[in-house]
Amino acid sequence: MMKIKVWGCRGSLPSPGPENIVYGGNTSCVQILKDDLCIILDGGSGIQRLGKVIGPEVKEIHILLTHLHIDHTMGLGFFQPLYNPNVKVHFWGPATSVEPLLHRLRRYFSPPLFPVRLNELPNHPEIHEVGDSEFEIHSLRFKTNYICHAGPTLGIRVTDGEKTFVYMPDHEPALASVDFPHKPHWTSGFDLAQGADLLFHDGEYTATEYQSKIGWGHSSLNDAMAFGRICGVKKLAIFHHDPLNSDKRLEQIFQDAMEEMQPEYKVTLCKEGDIYEL
């Protein structure tokens, strides 16, 4: 069995506060639990809390970065296992056409963004560049594809036996489509998400808000549900909540979108601390 635990599902900026107790204020970080594996998707502010509960028995950690926007990397320097010489950390993520992933990570791990440089860590992380790629980490199979978002950005498909989890926290499918949602095969991310048992997908805006934010790299809740429908997913969990939206606001716009779209499959709002089992 593969379990997926949410350590952060807020978009763009951490938003702690009593109005965000239910869905949480930490930015993107998801843990995959499978046997003794420690696999983490994105290093947003939620990774700091995760790092505190990783036990001494864990000697190898894999961190897969969808992209390097600050809300997906801001927690890396505060991830305690990076400072343990007995732990080997692997970073997986996209390069640009002009700059390797290592150089891009060094930019974060350097002043003035962060006081500790990458080469000052007690055990230098191993860097793996991926793009439109397929690879394995122990018993899990991974497929990554570039998807529509500002800068090189990956969607991630994880397969465990016959069960599949797809992670697309930042994605604008309506922008990268000939006629969304009517031509699935011409839609960004379709091949990656098709038939998934569980899809985490960007749903930052209402349909009305999205009209003034086209090209910003994010999706409306309505478009996320339409994308899940054309991909034939079994369950969709809305991710990357707008930092301006309180718990009450999130629940209202979610209900409005559900009434309008009437999805024939299960749709939920991601909550920090949620565990999904596949």
Could you give the CA distance from residue 182 to residue 179 in angstroms, rounded to a whole number?
A: 6
Handedness of CA 238, 241, 29, 98 (dihedral sign): positive
Task: Supply the pLDDT for residue 239.
Answer: 98
Contact 104, 67 (CB under 8 A): no
For the segment 228-255, what is each residue's pLDDT rounded down to a tens digit?
A: 999 999 999 999 999 999 999 999 999 9
The tokens describing 76, both together, are 């890396």
Q: Kindly indicate the confidence band of residue 97, based on its pLDDT and cuts at 50, 70 and 90.
A: confident
User: Bridge partners of 275?
Assistant: 5
For the segment 208-235, what is each residue's pLDDT rounded down to a tens digit?
A: 999 999 999 999 999 999 999 999 999 9
The tokens describing 7, both together, are 């350590």
For the segment 47-82, what is each residue's pLDDT rounded down to a tens digit?
A: 999 999 999 899 999 999 999 999 999 999 999 999
Tell me what the mean pLDDT of segment 262-272 comes to.
Answer: 98
Contact 63, 72 (CB under 8 A): no
Contact 100, 130 (CB under 8 A): no
- The boundaries of the domain holding residue 149 are 3-277
For residue 186, the number of C-alpha atoms closer than 13 Å in the C-beta half-sphere is: 8
Domain count, the chain: 1
177 has pLDDT over 90: no
Give alpha helix (H) positions in 54-146: 101-108
For the segment 2-35, what is each residue's pLDDT rounded down to a tens digit?
A: 999 999 999 999 999 999 999 999 999 999 999 8
Handedness of CA 4, 196, 95, 203 (dihedral sign): negative
Contact 201, 168 (CB under 8 A): yes
CATH number of the domain where residue 261 is located: 3.60.15.10
The tokens describing 256, both together, are 């409005």
Highest mean pLDDT among 28-37, 182-191, 196-205: 196-205
Q: Any idea how long the chain is?
A: 278
Cβ neighbours for 270, distance < 8 A, ≥ 6 positions apart: 6, 9, 23, 200, 237, 238, 239, 241
Task: Supply the pLDDT for residue 231.
Answer: 98
111 has pLDDT over 80: yes
Contact 264, 31 (CB under 8 A): no
Task: Supply the pLDDT for residue 178.
Answer: 76
Average pLDDT, rounded, for the chain: 96
Contact 91, 63 (CB under 8 A): yes
